[in-house]
Structure 1
Amino acid sequence: MACHEIAALRLGMMNILGLKDEAVRVHEINEIGQNVIAAPGPIRSLSEAKDFQSLIRFYEGSLTELEEKIASLGPTDPKLSYYRSLLILTKKVELELKSTFRNLNVLFNDLEEMHDLVHEIYPG
């Protein structure tokens, strides 16, 4: 479950970061499986993300299946602890993605402020 989401997230991040490591790409596709990555849906969309906002949105969407699986398990199901652990992992990754996006936006805005400061110090 979460292995597919993490592998697809890595593929999407490779797109955004401009990473061209074919060995990593093939490894992640093999982790997901050709049949899953070729099918329309959240995993494919996540793996093909072209910008950071889409990456976050597709990642959040891909977690719906995991949440549904957990909701369907009974309280004595032996796999419940495993799936809950996966949910914690995926939530942590989601929070890190959102934090990184916020930090990049702060940097973007700070660059304009620094640019303005340079012009204040050195007008003309």
Structure 2
Amino acid sequence: MTCHELEALRLGLMNVLGTSDRSAREHAEKELDGELDGPIEGLAEADSLSDLQRHLDAALVDLEEQVAAADEADPEYDYLRGRLVAVRDAERSLARVVDHGTGFLDDLGETHHSLHDAFPADE
């Protein structure tokens, strides 16, 4: 059992960031071989942070359903629960990335306005 959600999120984040690390991409693609459908496919092919958030949320719903339906006596049960914790943590981390990006965008706007206040353009 592998953590498809995290590998797909890595691929999507590589898309968003423009990462060209071929070995990291190939590793993630190998982990996901035959698993690219639904939210996992959406994550792997995402090209924006909002797409990543949306598909990760859907993947979490699927994973929560798997955990709820799993037999606690199954040897894989603890791993499945651990996977859920890891994906929820990734969801919080992604939210922080979005918040920081939004803050950076706001800061650039303020800097731009401050620059024009200090050096007014001739109209």
TM range (shorter): 0.7 to 0.9
Contact 2:2-2:31 at 8 Å conserved across structures: no
2:35 corresponds in structure 1 to 36
Distance in 1 between the 2:60 and 2:88 partners? 9
Percent identity for Structure 1 against Structure 2? 36
CA RMSD across the alignment: 1.7
Q: Runs of at least 4 residues of structure 1 off by over 6 A? A: none
In structure 2, how many angstroms separate the alpha carbons of the residues matched to 1:69 and 1:93? 18
C-alpha change, 1:2 and 1:114, in structure 2 (3 Å) is farther
Is 1:64 the counterpart of 2:68 in the alignment?
A: no
Residue from 66, 70, 73 that aligns with 1:73: 70
Residue 50 (structure 1) shift: 0.8
Alignment size in residue pairs: 121
Q: Which amino acid aligns with 2:35?
A: V
Q: Which runs of 5+ in 2 are unaligned?
A: none
The TM-score normalised by the length of structure 2 is 0.87
Find the aligned partners of 1:109 and 1:102 in 2 and give their Cα distance. Answer: 10
> CA 1:116/1:2 → structure 2, altered by over 3 Å: closer, same or farther?
farther
- 2 CA distance for matches of 1:50 and 1:109? 22
Normalised TM-score (structure 1): 0.87
The letter of the residue matching 1:107 is F
